[in-house]
Amino acid sequence: MEYETREIKEGIKLHYLHTDKYKTDLIYLALMIPSKREYITHNALLPLVLKRGTKNYQTQYDLSKALDNLYGANLSATIDKKGDNLVNKFTLDLLDNRYALDDTNIIKGGLDIMFDIVFNPLLENGMFKSDFLEAEKEHLKYNIASKIDDKESYATEACVSAMFGETGYGLYKGGYLEDVDSINPENMTEFYNYLINNAEIDIFVSSKTGIEEFEKYIRENETIQRLSPRKGEFIEYDTVENARPILDTPKVITENMDIVQGKLVIGYDVRPKEKEFQEIGLVYNALLGSAATSLLFQNVREKEGLCYSTRSIFLRSKLSLFIKCGIQVENYEKVLKLVDEQLDIIRNGEFSDEDLSNAKQYIIALIKAVKEDQDAELAYYLGCELAKNYLSLDEYIDRVEKITREDVISIAGTVFVNTIYFLKSLE
């Protein structure tokens, strides 16, 4: 069986994907909770504090050396947004045991360290150590302030925040500066306990080594044994019925910074008529602005030379679409008009069969490529499990192939501008 799920206990599952291709073992540990303003900053701080020390490895230096000794085992943490949910994902990548030059059990060693970091932090009087906490609060402040360093990403976040407000998906997953000072050992530990006891926990494994061995190490791990069963809470993705209303007039926001190139981000609401619209949305998006054959790439970049980087992103969980362009400030009006024209082209069905076929081919190639990349493949299954919407890669390809011209025109007619955000240079 290529892909298999086994329940460790209620709310805690192992998902295993066998592979023959890689010398790397890839493991994800995902903890999912609703995204809420009251603890978003605590959540952003958590991985920074967890890596400072565990009961078994009391400093980050000890942790680092232990991982290095496992043939360069690598552990990292990310926070992702899946609709209005937050996913804390810890990733462990290891050399598979069979390639070790001695009998080191890299897999067991790596899993033990990862579970130690996440479930067995170093505490003082039952709470996070205040010296660790204070030091990491400073680092968190730096991280939040560094939003402005990647201008495109900054502009995107600003547009998202304007569109959705400070709630759910609209929250900045890196946390808020004004929250940091009031975080203390009590409320940090309180949040941590909430997360550990309530989050849905999913462990994903991609390896040559069999599921039996992984299941054994997980079940035998003391910290896993101490975890209580839980129900988990998942905020469903937006539906046309419950989505917020379309705006009569779009919001227009401009900001100035000491930069050379302007960053334009336009956010749209999408309200498809079809119940199953995921694949239609993807094909529409490829046609509009994600492939090199797309309208944005061809007409705004190639024909007019107005930008180097331009693309569109379709976000099914929030029924939205984003178009981004890096442009010269004086071309703002021109680009807005040109972008509008591309949307009209699709609305009016003025695209060729070849255009549609290119878009479909592009998506299908991306899906096929997922199978050939260990991280992309495991992440695909993570996405399916978290959204509780399992679709095999082959079924996915099948669905994309069936998308018609009419499907794409139909969704195009339900795309409405919500927010126009422009980051420009100082006057």
Task: Find the shortest distance in angstroms from Cβ 410 to another protein.
Answer: 24
- Is 130 a binder of another protein (CB under 8 A)? no
Position 376 contacts another protein (CB under 8 A): no
Residue 209 in the binding site for another protein (CB under 8 A):
no
Residues of this chain, 90-109, that bind another protein according to CB under 8 A: 93, 95, 99, 101
- Cβ of residue 169: shortest distance to another protein, in angstroms? 24
373 Cβ contact partners less than 8 Å away, ≥ 6 residues apart: none
CB burial class (10 A; 0-12, 13-18, 19+) of residue 23? exposed
**Shortest reach from residue 263's CB to another protein, in Å:** 9
Distance from C-alpha of 390 to C-alpha of 393, rounded to nearest angstrom: 10
DSSP string, 264-281: EEEEEEE--SSS--HHHH
Size of the site for another protein (CB under 8 A): 64
Radius of gyration of the chain (CA): 23
Interface with another protein includes 327 (CB under 8 A)?
Answer: yes
Please tell me the chain's helix, strand, coil percentages from 3-state DSSP, rounded to the nearest 5: 45, 25, 30
CB of 397 to another protein, least distance (A): 11
371: contact with another protein by CB under 8 A: yes
Residue 405 has a CB neighbour count (10 Å cut-off) of 13
Which of 105, 209, 298, 317 lies at the binding interface for another protein (CB under 8 A)?
298
Letter string b/e over residues 345-371, b meaning 16 or more CB atoms within 10 A of that residue's CB: bbbeeebeeebbebbbebbbeebeebe
Q: How far is the CB of 72 from another protein (least distance, A)?
A: 4
Token duo for residue 230: 């839980």
Q: Can you read off the two tokens belonging to residue 324?
A: 């981004």
* 153 binds another protein, rule: CB under 8 A: no
Told to check if 257 binds another protein by CB under 8 A, we report yes
Pairing of strands 320-327, 307-315: antiparallel
Task: Give dist(CA 261, CA 296) in Å, integer.
Answer: 18
Please tell me whether residue 303 adopts helix, strand or coil conformation. Answer: helix
- Of 224 and 379, CB closest to another protein: 379
Does residue number 264 form part of the binding site for another protein (CB under 8 A)? Answer: no
Output 105 or 143, the one with its CB closest to another protein: 143
**Residue whose CB is less far from another protein, 317 or 328:** 328
The residues binding another protein (CB under 8 A) are 20-24, 60-61, 64-65, 68-73, 93, 95, 99, 101, 135, 138-139, 142-143, 145-149, 151, 257-261, 291-293, 298, 301-309, 326-328, 354, 357-358, 361-362, 364-365, 368-369, 371-374
